[in-house]
């Protein structure tokens, strides 16, 4: 580390070289992926916050010791709660209050899977979407809710 | 580490051109006065309105910061890609909630470090990207103490944008002078068709112009001209 006097031409040049080197070091694909993330901005849905995850927090160690038990995750929005059981091959979900509709499982890149939500608010997504992914629930009541990202 | 007050507040920075080209001249620019269309707060506001170009400009400004943090944590490429993806996906979600764009770089750095730390301590552990930190209240991670990584990234961004608003000849000269491996003066003289003896004085004039660029001048007057460089 050296003190840079920007009044000094040589030192300013060194700072410029460093600034452009820092930019050059970034792989183009790293930039492109970041730019592509903006497609999620246009989705018109309320964001549902993660309110419970059996895989993190105090429960995590206990739950993880039992390999067979599915991971339980809850997302909460103003008018809708989404409860998920993430198993090895599928996701079983339910929305509360129970109502029909459909749900899109959207990976960060690639095509989404759609599953119908039955009259008591239940749905099954199979196979597991590519990680990370998020769910977009469309209830027939008109409620449109998007979960935060889920990584498997 | 020198505290750089001017850097703490991105809103006071002016004229951040879209770094679409690396050291290449930006068409239609070249004056010393920049419009305010590309300051960070304006970029954030435009991105909030769905302006993809503004988002791209934010990405190009801060991707080097995220990348540098990933390198410091010695993440391999797939892990660095994962960190970058989760930081940007989160930012897209949080974008509508941003009220203080000046806190954005600090939030990006903090979120990146947390993601890096998560991968280093528990590689490949599945988890939901919970939003523990609300971007609407993006706190300065260490109020009072300058975040060195963020300051260097912001200063580098200002240096790059300042170069990109220089006349094409200046940009070309500076690009050749900082090339790695170095370009001999004789080659620079040939490429730019100026005598070797004029390279030094031309460089001095270009740098003088660079220092007058408003965002640079703001940094210099804020005391950032003595900043630490790697």
DSSP letters of A115-137?
Answer: EEE-TTSEEEE-SPPPSSEEEEE
- Cα A37 to Cα B198: distance, rounded to the nearest angstrom: 46
Q: How many domains does chain B have?
A: 1
Q: What is the mean pLDDT of residues A29-46?
A: 91
Q: Is residue B209 part of a domain?
A: no
Provide the residue range defining the domain that includes B69: 7-165
Task: Considering only residues A69 and B200, tell me which one the structure prediction assigns the higher pLDDT.
Answer: B200
Q: What is the pLDDT of residue A147?
A: 95
Interface of B with A in 162-201 (CB under 8 A): 163, 174, 177-178, 180
- Cα A122 to Cα A143: distance, rounded to the nearest angstrom: 16
**Cβ atoms of B225 and A7 closer than 8 Å:** yes
Q: Is residue B23 part of a domain?
A: yes
Q: Is residue B176 part of a domain?
A: no
Interface with chain A: mutation pick from B127, B134, B149, B222, highest number of A CBs within 10 Å:
B127
**Chain B residue whose CA is closest to A107:** B89
Helix H or strand E encompassing B211: helix B196-212
Q: B182: pLDDT confidence band, cut at 50, 70 and 90?
A: very high
Q: B112: pLDDT confidence band, cut at 50, 70 and 90?
A: very high
* A2, pLDDT greater than 90: no
Greatest distance between any 2 Cα atoms in chain B: 61
Measured between CB atoms, does B159 come within 8 Å of chain A? Answer: yes
Domain edges within chain A: 9-39, 43-147
Rounded percentage of chain B residues whose pLDDT exceeds 90 = 58
Of A7, A23, A148, the CB nearest to B22: A23
Q: Is residue B13 part of a domain?
A: yes
| Domain boundaries A43-147, CATH class | mainly beta
ipTM above 0.85, yes or no: no
Measured between CB atoms, does B50 come within 8 Å of chain A? Answer: yes
Chain A CB contacts of B86 below 8 Å: 132, 149, 151
């Amino acid at each position: 580390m050296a003190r840079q006097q920007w009044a000094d031409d040589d030192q300013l040049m060194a700072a410029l070289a460093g600034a452009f080197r820092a930019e050059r070091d970034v792989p183009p694909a790293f930039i492109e992926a970041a730019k592509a993330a903006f497609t999620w901005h246009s989705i018109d849905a309320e964001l549902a916050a993660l309110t419970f995850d059996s895989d993190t927090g105090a429960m995590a160690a206990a739950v993880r010791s039992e390999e067979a038990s599915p991971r339980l995750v809850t997302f909460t929005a103003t008018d809708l709660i989404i409860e998920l059981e993430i198993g090895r091959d599928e996701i079983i979900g339910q929305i509360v209050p129970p109502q029909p509709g459909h749900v899109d499982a959207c990976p960060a890149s690639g095509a989404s899977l759609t599953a119908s939500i039955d009259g008591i608010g239940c749905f099954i997504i199979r196979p597991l979407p590519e990680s990370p992914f998020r769910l977009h629930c469309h209830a027939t009541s008109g409620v449109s809710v998007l979960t935060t990202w889920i990584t498997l | 580490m020198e505290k750089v007050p001017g850097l703490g507040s991105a809103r006071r920075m002016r004229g951040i051109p879209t770094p679409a080209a690396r050291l290449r001249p930006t068409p239609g620019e070249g004056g010393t006065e920049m419009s305010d269309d590309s300051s960070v707060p304006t970029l954030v506001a435009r991105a909030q309105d769905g302006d993809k170009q503004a988002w791209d400009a934010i990405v190009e400004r801060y991707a080097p910061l995220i990348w540098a943090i990933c390198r410091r944590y010695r993440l391999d490429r797939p892990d660095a890609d994962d960190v970058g993806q989760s930081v940007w996906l989160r930012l897209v979600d949080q974008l509508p909630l941003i009220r203080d764009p000046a806190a954005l770089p600090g939030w990006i750095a903090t979120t990146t470090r947390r993601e890096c730390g998560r991968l280093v301590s528990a590689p490949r552990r599945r988890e939901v990207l919970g939003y523990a930190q609300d971007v609407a209240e993006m706190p300065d991670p260490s109020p009072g103490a300058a975040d060195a990584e963020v300051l260097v990234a912001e200063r580098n961004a200002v240096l790059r944008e300042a170069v990109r608003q220089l006349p094409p000849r200046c940009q070309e000269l500076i690009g050749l002078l900082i090339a790695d491996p170095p370009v001999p003066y004789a080659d620079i003289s040939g490429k730019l068709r100026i005598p070797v003896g004029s390279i030094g004085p031309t460089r001095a004039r270009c740098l003088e112009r660079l220092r007058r660029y408003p965002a640079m001048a703001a940094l210099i007057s804020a005391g950032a001209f003595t900043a630490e460089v790697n």
